[in-house]
A and B are shown apart, each in its own frame.
Chain A
């Protein structure tokens, strides 16, 4: 008898929780310092203005989770923050929906959205959120006599001994390997499209394989450096910036051969909350929220937001270092992401 009541109560609880959850919007991004900035400038203001309950989730990037949701038909996310390096693939394979850019509001200075956004920010399947960069950083304590300065130094374990933290994926690591091996920046993707070029990149990575610590998610990068798990790490520039600025961490950033890219907000194809999702994106990519990403040294994708930044912040943004960098090629990775991913994983297991 007692069991009956308990069962009913538990059922009601479960249903109640589920019913309440139906109003939620699930927004997925990368967590850490970047997630905190997004929460402050994009999520919280939207929640306050509309009363929508937002579940703000973290993921490690890549298309695998979107793909699993799409192919099994269990769409769990509504809005997702994607690196453009992965966006092209997610878009051409139908995991994220096409977005009509005419819904985007004008900038705060009145410039229409189509002119206010930098061109790359208006993708068929996403609306630009930040301009950011993948750099490497080292701990100052590990190299008291001066740390690595170039990408070649990153691959030089004799001159600069120590563990290197890299995100476990072929993207950017393969580019870096070729750049360190002397391939000119404008030929990197051409070379990487050939079997020989791919082997060259893996061979170069192989020279430091024993010193690599692989991690899964951007938020681990500053943690590894901090805990001594690695002496240099690949990282999104903002996370190292935040660790130095907020916690006074003894890290140095190296801009040589950084790979810069955009992040966009995209909507999962097949979500039941399409309207709310688009409404959120409209609000999150307005001038003021975008300018807030300067907290973690990411550049805004609207010109009107660029104008709001103080001068001294601008030198920390990727845009100040474009001459030393390589633009991540989303189309290349849409075509080669899968086969290189497989090659890369086999290489890892060898």
Chain B
């Protein structure tokens, strides 16, 4: 770093011999190399600890070898199939044999789960058939596998089930992205909308809630930042403690506080009832309302801090001048002050918006059913339904969204300008 002192550009001069020029270039390269070496350990670390995991997630969203590994032979025999009628007897027999093997390896459940994603309801077909075939002799399966299969469940005569198996058998697939966008592949291969819209609605709701939270933090944060910025330094520093204490307090603590406040017999309801404002307690916890209010509280400092630091640098004499010349406060504010505070406002708003869009913990704890956001459904598919590929696809879409927002932030605010505390 300090080598830079020696590199005085003023010394460059047209009369340099070519050897000197080469040496200088070498020197520059060496310095760049030296500076870079400082960053290498961290780059290696971040690549392993952070970048590779994200890349793995992106990969998982389009890669799922499970079915191809479970029933390779069945998929092979299905290759000849025209996709319209019931597949050949050979294909059905092979599948019956495969399914028996899976049942005894206790892996038929995995196959059932994978096929079910392409044809909801098929999981029970696969599982109950596997249970029935488990004890059948191999020779008998070779002989009459087709009949046994269809006897176990007539769904096996339905070509759609086999198309689902074929779909699930693809190692590389875009189908999880289609699902994440509420689309599906129709039997004829075209892409169509699914009947029930789940994920797009949820993305919409997430963005909408993030917007409400951003606006609320702005409405609450702007006047406070304004007041603090134009108070004396001592008072501003004192008030700052009240902004920084929540900022430094654990997220779980603040969420706990809102649970204590908003629950049925909680502090807010007790107060309202004691004041006679309501007779029956209000249902506030486990709703969208509680998610929004708790997140507004949690993210408010992220709005106040950048606003304050920009406002602190605004010279109040402009406003004073305008007003002393007879301009009324509101027009004076809108025309002079607001534009000057815009950098802080956009920084705070984008920061709050970006953080809200990906929020998980608070909606999970106080959101109930209708306060859930996109992160919660990703967690649901990671932990409850165990559809990791769909979780990865939903996560990748969220990541693209965040990157777009971050790019905006970088353009308008500059990522290097993030300040802390």
Contact = CB atoms under 8 A, between A and B. Distances in A.
A67 interface: yes
A93 B383 contact: no
Interface string A39-68: 000000000000000000000001011011
B105 interface: yes
B184 interface: no
Contacts of B198: 346, 349
Given A214-B369, A335-B131, A342 B110 contact: no
B263 A336 contact: no
B362 interface: no
A227 B264 CA distance: 7
Given A339-B120, A342-B116, A93 B131 contact: no
Contacts of B368: 213-214
Contact of B263 (A193, A229, A338, A343): A229
B109 A93 contact: yes
B92 interface: no
B113 A350 contact: no
Contacts of A195: 121
A89 B109 contact: yes
A12 interface: no
A94 B263 contact: no
B107 A341 contact: no
Contact of B385 (A193, A341, A349): A341
B385 A94 contact: no
Interface string A264-286: 00000000000000000000000
A89 B388 CA distance: 19
A93 B116 contact: no
Interface residues of B, number: 37
A348 interface: yes
Given A64-B385, A335-B127, A338-B113, A92 B121 contact: no
Interface string A170-194: 0000000000000000000000010
A331 B132 CA distance: 12
Interface in B86-133: 103, 105-110, 112-113, 116, 120-124, 127-128, 130-131
Given A64-B385, A65-B383, A89-B109, A339 B196 contact: no
Interface in B265-310: 265, 281, 285-286
B123 A229 contact: no
A71 interface: yes
A338 B123 CA distance: 7
Of A89, A341, A349, the most chain B CB neighbours within 10 A belong to A349
Nearest to A341: B385
B158 interface: no
Interface string A323-346: 000000001001110110111011
Contacts of A227: 263-265
Contacts of B264: 227-229
Nearest to A343: B120
**Which secondary structure characterizes the binding site on chain B?**
helix
Contacts of B110: 71, 93
A5 B281 CA distance: 57
Contacts of A213: 286, 368
B386 interface: yes
Contact of B127 (A65, A92, A228): A92
A228 B369 CA distance: 18
Contacts of B384: 62, 64
**Which secondary structure characterizes the binding site on chain A?**
helix
A346 B196 contact: yes
A89 B120 CA distance: 18
Contacts of B120: 339, 342-343
Contact of A71 (B121, B122, B386): B386
Nearest to B201: A349
B124 A68 contact: no
A194 to B, nearest CB: 11
Given A339-B121, A342-B120, A92 B106 contact: yes
A341 B384 CA distance: 10
A350 B106 contact: no
Nearest to B129: A335
Nearest to A67: B386
B163 to A, nearest CB: 17
A92 B196 contact: no
Of B265, B383, B386, the most chain A CB neighbours within 10 A belong to B386
Contacts of A65: 383
A227 B262 CA distance: 12
Contact of B123 (A67, A92, A339, A346): A339
A71 B368 CA distance: 29
A64 B116 contact: no
Nearest to A215: B286
Interface in B323-375: 368-369
Contacts of B106: 91-94
A7 B281 CA distance: 53
B366 to A, nearest CB: 13
Given A336-B124, A338-B124, A339-B116, A94 B107 contact: yes
Contacts of B285: 229
A225 to B, nearest CB: 11
A93 B109 CA distance: 5
Nearest to A163: B283
Nearest to B117: A342
A335 B153 CA distance: 13
Interface string A127-140: 00000000000000
A64 B386 contact: yes
Contacts of A342: 116, 120, 385
Contacts of A228: 264-265, 281
A92 B385 contact: no
Contact of A339 (B103, B122, B265, B380): B122
Contacts of A335: 123-124, 127-128, 131
B66 to A, nearest CB: 9
What 4 pairs between A and B have smallest CB-CB spacing? A93-B109, A94-B106, A338-B123, A335-B127
Given A89-B109, A213-B368, A348-B369, 7 more contacts: A67-B386, A92-B109, A92-B131, A93-B108, A94-B105, A334-B127, A346-B198
18 contacts: A71-B388, A94-B109, A193-B124, A214-B368, A228-B265, A228-B281, A331-B131, A334-B127, A335-B123, A335-B127, A335-B131, A338-B116, A341-B385, A342-B116, A342-B385, A343-B121, A345-B380, A346-B198
